[in-house]
Structure 1
Amino acid sequence: MPRGNAAPEERLRAIETLLLWEGRVTRGRLLDLFPVHETMASRDLLAYRQQFPRALTSDLSSKAYEATPFLQPALTAGTFAEYQQLIGLAGLGVANGPIPIESSHLDATQIDFRNFARLHNAVRTSACVRIEYRSMRNPERHERVIRPHSFIQAGPRWHLRGFCKEAKEFREFNLGRISSTSTEADEMLPGIEEDKDWLALIKLRLVPHRDLSVPQKQLVRDEYMSGTTAQVFEVRMPMVRYLAQSFRAAVDPDREKPPSFLLMVEGVESLPSNILWQP
């Protein structure tokens, strides 16, 4: 999200944020975020390196600055919200405009910047990583070797999709449940080009809940559907469940009823099995 008239201090904070959460920073990455001349971006990188010489090292082959183990938040608080604001993913940070605006788009996932930077690098380079993970089925820490290919923002939580060596299939992993990461360069696991579910697009139709009255249904249509009969999304198959959940759309309208559920998923029976969380 390019930003005009950014002060040098803001760009220095951006450099630190990128180093923390992406593990590297380049002049081109800064130019993606700030409409400044290349010379200014180069000066900013030099200024940060002069101020924190142990925090980054130069990689001449890729023309990038890589984070070192000595990197610590100094100009920033080191929070994931700062990273989201920088790259334009957060619903926060808009209160600095001419009128006050608040958002309920808050993150509940506790993410370590070192883990995120390694995972970000693995996605960028199509590499495998070994993670220490916990799940509801197996809440004790255990190791998984995965080849991640995409990040997923799902309401207040963040996930990572990739192929799991142990499960022998593509899965999503909650970033808040990953306690450690390490490289696993020798592994050769399937990548995004073999993730058929991820590459498949599904049409998800949301309609007013069938138990609403006629006036209530019209109200919901006006609110969500511009007065039409349904809101239709075409999304990647694994995203269907997250989208239905974010709209609080009933999957089983016999059990999930108004006023908690104003919408319902139409044609659940025609959707591929196991792509929706059942109540």
Structure 2
Amino acid sequence: MLNELSHGQRERLCYIDFCLQYYGDIARSDLIQRFQMGLASSSRDFATYKEIAPDNLILKHETKRYHRTQKFKPLFAHSSDKALAEFAENNNFGNSLNSDQVVSSVSLINAQPEIIAAITRAMCSSSALKMKYASLSSGVSEREIVPHAFLNTGHRWHVRAFDRKSQEFRDFVCTRIIKTSEAKQNPKENELQTQDLEWQSQVTLQLVPHPNHKFPKAIELDYQMQNQQLELTLRVAEAKYLLRFWNVDVTAEHSNSPDLHHLWLKNTEELRHNNRLAQALSLALPTEQAVNQQRSTS
């Protein structure tokens, strides 16, 4: 029945469902305030919701609010991460929680809107972009790029692009782009997203609690592991940042400190057999080990 409803009504029913799941109750006035609608329309929405999920809510006349029942089963999938983000950002879903009850981490890195807008326009029009970029390794320089995707590393946003200076696909930190302008030369075939091997290729990571940690169960719960393992298949371009962001121990012998590295990459040895992949994920063996391995296979 949900598929037969208009987009607007599904959105309102989703709001009712969300409030019941996370707040435990909702009134018609909440729906009216949220969507700037009339009393009759809000009553119809509650009637529709009750028709679809009669066991989810009950009206208590003394409070004039609909309350969640013990038999409640959500009609919509509500991400807990998105819910917490909504609570932290101006409480967009309602007023049941205040700023003293939901505190998010302070963001220290925020890209300029005009820079993001310029990159987005270039991606949408499949065009190249000139930019002045500040690098930690080489300082400020002029570059021409062909951007094709945004990538959030966990700490900040990067733009994935073909770099005409180095003649390879690279990630550029959005906050380090000082200014942009249109490039005259249109993208060539080798500069397009379809030619970005790290973007087009996928890799499977097998993450487990660090074998040397005393309390692996806590780690299993943190990452919602199944059978003491979390298996992820994702782009190579994304995987390298995931390993870094979550401080995963990628040594084959899990030799790093379990207090600093809660996760271990179980299939490190397997991934190292692919030299290109090992280099992209920073899994390459130390020089001495690499030499010994080369001698043993020659």
For normalisation by structure 1, the TM-score amounts to: 0.62
Quick check: 1:128–1:188 contact (8 Å CA) kept in 2? Answer: yes
Deviation at 1:169, TM superposition (A): 0.8
- How far is the alpha carbon of 1:124 from its aligned partner? 1.4
Map of 1:193 onto structure 2: 194
Which is bigger in relative contact order (C-alpha 8 A, separation at least 6)?
1
Q: Is the 8 A contact 1:133 1:177 kept in 2?
A: yes
Mapped pair 1:94 → 2:107: no
- Report SS of the residue matched to 1:232: strand
Change (3 A) 1:107 1:187: farther
Contact 1:218 1:227 in 2 (8 A): no
Counterpart CA distance in 2 for 1:165 and 1:207 is 39
Larger helix proportion of the pair:
2
Residues 251 and 276 in structure 1, CA contact (< 8 A), matched pair in contact too: no
Question: 1:153 & 1:171 partners in 2: Cα distance?
Answer: 14
- The structure with the larger Rg is 2
Name the aligned partner's letter for residue 130 of structure 2. R
Shift of 1:158: 0.7
Counterpart of 2:279 in 1: which secondary structure? coil
Provide, for residues 126-175 of structure 1, a one-character-per-residue CA deviation record: whole Å limited to 9, x for no partner.
1100111122221x210111100000111121100011111111110011
Write the deviation string for residues 164-193 of structure 1: whole angstroms up to 9, x where unpaired: 111111110011111111111323241111
What is the rounded CA distance, in whole Å, between the counterparts of 2:83 and 2:177 in structure 1? Answer: 22
Deviation of 1:4 (Å): 5.2
Go from structure 1 to structure 2 and tell me whether the alpha carbon gap of 1:207 and 1:254 turns closer, same or farther (over 3 Å shift): closer
Q: Deviation digits for residues 186-211 of structure 1, max 9, x if unmatched?
A: 23241111112201111111111121
Q: Which residue of 1 aligns with 2:62?
A: none
Whether the 8 Å contact between 2:126 and 2:187 is mirrored in structure 1 is no
For structure 1, which segment, 216-225 or 262-271, has the greater mean C-alpha deviation from structure 2 after superposition? 216-225
The equivalent residue for 1:206 is 207
Could you list the structure 1 runs, at least 4 aligned residues long, displaced by more than 4 angstroms after superposition: 2-5, 88-91
The amino acid across from 2:186 in the alignment is: E
- CA 1:217/1:244 → structure 2, altered by over 3 Å: closer, same or farther? same
Q: In the alignment, what sits opposite 2:258?
A: 258
Correspondence list, 1:1-279, <5 A: 92-95=85-88, 96=91, 97=94, 98-99=96-97, 100-104=101-105, 106-138=106-138, 140-189=139-188, 190-213=191-214, 216-252=215-251, 256-271=256-271, 272-277=277-282
- Matched with 2:48 is none
User: Which residues of structure 2 form unaligned runs of 5+?
Assistant: 1-7, 14-33, 37-80, 272-276, 287-298
SS in 2 for 1:137: coil
- Change in Cα spacing, 1:255 to 1:35, as seen in structure 2 (3 Å) is farther
- Rounded to whole Å, the distance in 1 between the matches of 2:83 and 2:179 is 25
Q: CA RMSD in A?
A: 3.1
CA gap 1:91/1:223 in 2 versus in 1, 3 angstroms: closer
List gaps (5 residues or longer) in structure 1.
6-33, 37-87
Give distance in 2, aligned partners of 1:224 and 1:164: 36
